Structure 1
Amino acid sequence: MNIIIVLLCVLVITAILSWKWGRYYLGFKLPGPPALPLIGNLLDVRSRDFTVLFHEMNKYIKNHGPVTRIWLGPVMLIFVSGPEEIAKVVGNDKIGHRGKYSLRILSPIFNKGLLAQEEMSVWKIHRKIVTNAFHNNMLNKFVDNFAKNSNILANRLKELADGTNAYDILPYLCLCALDIITQTCFGQNINAQINNDMMAVQYNKTILDSTQIRLSDPFLMFDWAFYLTEIGKKYKVAVKYYHDLIKGVIDDRAINAKSKEELSKSPTLMDYLIQNGQLSKEEIVGEISSIGGAGTETTATLSTFVLAILAEHQDIQEKVFEEQKTIFGEDILRPVTSDDLPSMTYLEQVINETLRLYPPVIGHPRETIKEYGIGNGYILPVEAQLLICAYPLHRNPEIHPAPDKFDPERFTPENVAARHPYAFVPFGVGRRMCVGYKFAYMETKAILSTILRHFHMMEIKGGLEGIQKNIHCSFVLTVTDGIHLKFKPRKYAILKTQ
């Protein structure tokens, strides 16, 4: 009997070692830098500053190509940055959704929402419900909210528009985006801009920064280790703040349900999810957290990058402004409406070209479920962590000629049609693509339209070269010490306020 048990143990251990060895063998056949035993490439990339991994990732991909493997200890991470390779990853049943490490880190804040949902059957139900919440009729009703908060932002920026000094306007844009997202998600008017409430913004930043730190430090992937740290304790407080806020609104709706007329006039995403009736309270908390977490700093940062680039490219700024004058006519400072946004085609080209150069999120995680051939004789092993990399893809000269040049003409309909469909992936790709990307475009257009009709962007402190040298990658791509802009009111805007 003992011999049988020993033999069974030997067989099990042999099977495990054989599986592991096969996996490692396939991994080492992939292009990538040399790796040390046990620790892999951790000495190169282990840092609580995600910027280190960001720069190393770009260097690895430049040296090894569109499929590049590194080892973070025993974890195999594969960077995928070619359109053809991305096409083979997207929608393939051998490639799962977010890897287990990403899910482990995202689940405390996003709970049972789309960003942290592991069960594919449940994810499909959630995806359908949330996608329906972002239908065009609903989005058009949100534009009044975009316009109101964008005008509050413009009034606040007047204090800085002296045409002499350069100011970091990202905090102001973050407050505006926060007001928009809270009112859109659950109708809660926290007046972050009017009250200059940086606490809510700081909580959001704490959550994003903590997530980035955990993703870049394998030791902190363990909950017990993370929550012993100072940043882990702050993260716990920040998550509780947002979850309590959302739960409070859900409880209030249970007591004071909106009438159909109220829902029609001022719909919110939360009201839609409650009325749908398929999601539990915890699932609604997860979805609202996902939308709020993904849609605040990303929109604010994107808008800031656009304004900075327009300050550097005065000819392009003038062309954007001419389009705005055509749309708004003599009443140039009126609030933006849902009818205005589709006409802002050149502004959308400018936004897309900014997204190409500075995608808010550097990568979109996946995990292999089964071995999968990705081309060129390369086989992705089971449980490999994949990262679809937007930044190096968008800067690849073979795909985007003169990649460092800012050229909105890349996004004319004919030029877009001539490119590979996966040559531009700022919002992810496939069934995991950002569900709120239309919302993001509409919100960004409304904010930029309002600012550019009120102000003329004059100059960036340090220029675009300074921005490029100081790129900082947290959860969202931004710039160390912010983007400082010099701007002034447009002449008619001064007359209007006198």
Structure 2
Amino acid sequence: MEVSYCFIILASLFFCFILKSLLNSIHRSSLTKSPQKLPPGPRRLLILSDLPWLRNNFIDFMKSLRRLRAQHGPIFTLRIGPRTSIFIASHDLAYKALIQEGATFADRPSSPGSNQHTISSAPYGPTWRLLRGNLMTQILHPSRVKSFSQSRKHVLQHLINKLKIESESSGDDHAVRVVDHFRHAMLSSLLSMCFGENLEEEVVGNVEKMMRAALVSSSTRFSVLVFFPARLSETLFPNRWKKLEEAKTSRERVLAPLIRARALKQNNNKSNGNNVVCYVDSLLNLSMTEDAAPGRKLSEREIVGLCSEFLNAGADTTATALQWIMANLVRHQDVQDKVFEEIKRVARVEEEEFVREEDLKKMTYLKAVVLEGLRRHPPVHLPIPHAVTSEVTLEGHLVPRDASVVFMIADMGWDPEVWDRPMEFDPGGSWMGEWKALILVGIRGSRWCRLGRGEGSVPGLVCLCCIWSILWRIW
């Protein structure tokens, strides 16, 4: 009997979903009769056309997107479930959306299990401006970044020592898996910025395990949840929602004690006149400006979410970028030699010394190597989707309020119409002069799609220290 009831309930939900999809299709078709139309895309036959997309892994999904881009052009529409996604794969369109119409495209679509109190999930408005402003002024401002230079030096020394020890002890027949060391080093550095001190190896390891498990789950178990409304997906995928809650609980179990310890230390520092500020300090002192509860402090769970966002944004992405950059330096010995010569010419340090961070901005070829690595092997192919604050027209196409806008940044860097030999790693190519001009005048009119402020500094610092201390070679 219970099985029959469950079947009836599921069948009813399935029928309602199909009916809603049909009504949405009729509504969207009415839009196409207006002068403003959605970008072109594949025809949708109710829920049946969604099934192949939901089964695809990420690699197959990207291949399908590239076929659609070749068929429909640099802007196209894809409907999966009740959601409409608009994909942009053109530098010019990305510039118009993110720069010329930046405020309009600054919103975010809702995501499953999110209270929208992180920078990457908050809708465009007072909360987003407050959280982003706090991060940029309190942590990512150049003066703040400089205050953590000793911590970065400690992490780099530890990284170099570990690489040397493993290389010497493993023998010639064993390759060192550098990406694990890079990830651990990046996470250690970010944790010191987040919690104000160099944490013990065991603590860093626990955070790393938690983040790795969450990353694997989000790319496999939880990806399907974004295509359905929360209530419907809770009914269709109860086990995945349970796992999502378990992942959030695990995150709180690991990070909350560190936040409490820092809060206690902050109180002691106030009485001692110690003014060292880390990310958690700024979040503990932050007062929200929401109309519902102006002046309230962030809850512990909200601080956990913001710390997790900060760590996730920098650890794996930077480690992945470093892995590809170093692999290309091993493969292209001429590029490695040029970087090494530039370090000797600019830094003028002894063999056992670290290169100074202030010398980074003088190393134009190293910057070109890092930027070329980010172009050829971007750590993120599809960044977090955007949404528009109000209905807008882009290149004659309608971008509705409820649509997700996704920028295909990897494909922008591989566009053969823009780049000569786009699939080759060539930091000294014909565009080197354009890149130098980019440093002086900014991104207007450029072929580069920036990922954020100072995206080359950390990979560049680790890269040059590894080259200078070890001199990577194919033995």
Alignment TM class, shorter chain as reference: 0.7 to 0.9
Asked if 1:208 corresponds to 2:209, the answer is: no
Q: Map Cα deviations across residues 451-491 of structure 1 (whole Å, 9 max, x no partner).
A: 111223334xxxxxxxxxxxxxxxxxxxxxxxxxxx6xxxx
Q: Which residue identity is paired with 2:388?
A: T
Asked if 1:147 corresponds to 2:129, the answer is: no
Q: Which residue of 1 aligns with 2:280?
A: 270
Structure 2 counterparts to residues 315-354 of structure 1, below 5 A: 315-354=334-373
Q: Which residue of 1 aligns with 2:473?
A: 458
Distance of 1:391 and 1:354 partners within structure 2: 11
Q: Which residue identity is paired with 1:425?
A: C
Conserved? CA contact 2:342–2:365, under 8 Å: yes
Structure 2 counterparts to residues 190-269 of structure 1, below 5 A: 190-192=199-201, 195=202, 198-213=205-220, 214-216=222-224, 218=227, 222=233, 228-229=239-240, 231-232=243-244, 235-258=247-270, 262-264=274-276, 267-269=277-279
Conserved? CA contact 1:206–1:234, under 8 Å: no
Q: Structure 1 residue aligned with 2:142, among 136, 145, 148?
A: 136
Q: Structure 1 residue aligned with 2:76, among 48, 52, 68?
A: 68
Q: CA deviation at 1:164?
A: 4.2
Conserved? CA contact 1:80–1:86, under 8 Å: yes
Asked if 1:79 corresponds to 2:90, the answer is: no
Q: Which residue of 2 aligns with 1:482?
A: none
Q: CA deviation at 1:444?
A: 1.8
Q: Map Cα deviations across residues 192-223 of structure 1 (whole Å, 9 max, x no partner).
A: 3xx59644222112222333332345369635
Q: Which residue of 1 aligns with 2:119?
A: 114
Asked if 1:412 corresponds to 2:421, the answer is: no
Provide the TM-score with structure 1 as the length reference.
Answer: 0.76
- SS where residue 199 of structure 2 aligns? coil
Which structure exhibits the higher relative contact order, with contacts defined as CA atoms closer than 8 Å and separated by 6 or more residues?
Answer: 1
Q: CA deviation at 1:381?
A: 3.1
Distance of 1:453 and 1:349 partners within structure 2: 17
Q: Structure 2 residue aligned with 1:169, among 175, 178, 182?
A: 178
Indicate how the Cα distance of structure 1 residues 258 and 50 shifts in structure 2: closer, same or farther if over 3 A, else same: farther
Q: Which residue identity is paired with 1:310?
A: L
Q: CA deviation at 1:185?
A: 1.2
Asked if 1:36 corresponds to 2:45, the answer is: yes
Distance of 1:416 and 1:341 partners within structure 2: 14
Distance of 1:95 and 1:154 partners within structure 2: 42
Indicate how the Cα distance of structure 1 residues 122 and 234 shifts in structure 2: closer, same or farther if over 3 A, else same: closer
Q: Which residue of 2 aligns with 1:126?
A: 131
Q: Which residue identity is paired with 1:379?
A: L
Q: CA deviation at 1:356?
A: 0.5
Indicate how the Cα distance of structure 1 residues 224 and 359 shifts in structure 2: closer, same or farther if over 3 A, else same: farther
* Worse-matched range after superposition: 364-373 or 25-34: 25-34
Indicate how the Cα distance of structure 1 residues 422 and 415 shifts in structure 2: closer, same or farther if over 3 A, else same: closer
Distance of 2:25 and 2:178 partners within structure 1: 55
Indicate how the Cα distance of structure 1 residues 318 and 215 shifts in structure 2: closer, same or farther if over 3 A, else same: same
Name the structure with the higher strand share. Answer: 1
Asked if 1:280 corresponds to 2:304, the answer is: no
Asked if 1:160 corresponds to 2:180, the answer is: no
Distance of 1:146 and 1:204 partners within structure 2: 21
Distance of 1:401 and 1:25 partners within structure 2: 41
Q: CA deviation at 1:311?
A: 0.9
Q: Which residue identity is paired with 1:136?
A: P
Indicate how the Cα distance of structure 1 residues 93 and 196 shifts in structure 2: closer, same or farther if over 3 A, else same: closer
Q: Map Cα deviations across residues 299-318 of structure 1 (whole Å, 9 max, x no partner).
A: 11111111011111110011
Asked if 1:47 corresponds to 2:31, the answer is: no
Distance of 1:417 and 1:339 partners within structure 2: 20
Asked if 1:446 corresponds to 2:461, the answer is: yes
Q: Which residue of 2 aligns with 1:182?
A: 191
Indicate how the Cα distance of structure 1 residues 324 and 223 shifts in structure 2: closer, same or farther if over 3 A, else same: farther
Conserved? CA contact 1:143–1:443, under 8 Å: no
Q: Which residue identity is paired with 1:129?
A: N
Q: CA deviation at 1:384?
A: 1.6
Q: Which residue identity is paired with 1:98?
A: R
Distance of 1:112 and 1:370 partners within structure 2: 21
Show structure 2 runs of 5+ residues with no match.
1-22, 289-296
Q: Which residue of 2 aligns with 1:56?
A: 64
Q: Which residue of 2 aligns with 1:385?
A: 404
Conserved? CA contact 1:163–1:458, under 8 Å: no
Indicate how the Cα distance of structure 1 residues 249 and 383 shifts in structure 2: closer, same or farther if over 3 A, else same: same
Q: Structure 2 residue aligned with 1:104, among 99, 105, 112?
A: 112
State the aligned residue count: 427
Indicate how the Cα distance of structure 1 residues 22 and 182 shifts in structure 2: closer, same or farther if over 3 A, else same: same
Q: CA deviation at 1:240?
A: 2.0
Indicate how the Cα distance of structure 1 residues 58 and 144 shifts in structure 2: closer, same or farther if over 3 A, else same: farther
Q: RMSD between aligned alpha carbons?
A: 3.2
Q: CA deviation at 1:224?
A: 6.5
Q: Which residue of 1 aligns with 2:7?
A: none
Q: Which residue of 2 aligns with 1:423?
A: 447
Distance of 1:233 and 1:271 partners within structure 2: 27
Conserved? CA contact 2:82–2:228, under 8 Å: no
Indicate how the Cα distance of structure 1 residues 157 and 309 shifts in structure 2: closer, same or farther if over 3 A, else same: same
Tell me the percent identity. Answer: 21
Q: Which residue of 2 aligns with 1:371?
A: 391
Distance of 1:445 and 1:129 partners within structure 2: 25
Distance of 1:169 and 1:224 partners within structure 2: 43
Q: CA deviation at 1:20?
A: 4.7
Conserved? CA contact 2:368–2:427, under 8 Å: yes
Distance of 1:83 and 1:447 partners within structure 2: 29
Distance of 1:455 and 1:123 partners within structure 2: 43
Q: Which residue of 2 aligns with 1:6?
A: none
Q: Which residue identity is paired with 2:60?
A: V
Q: CA deviation at 1:296?
A: 0.8
* Worse-matched range after superposition: 17-26 or 72-81: 17-26
Indicate how the Cα distance of structure 1 residues 327 and 416 shifts in structure 2: closer, same or farther if over 3 A, else same: closer
- SS where residue 356 of structure 2 aligns? coil
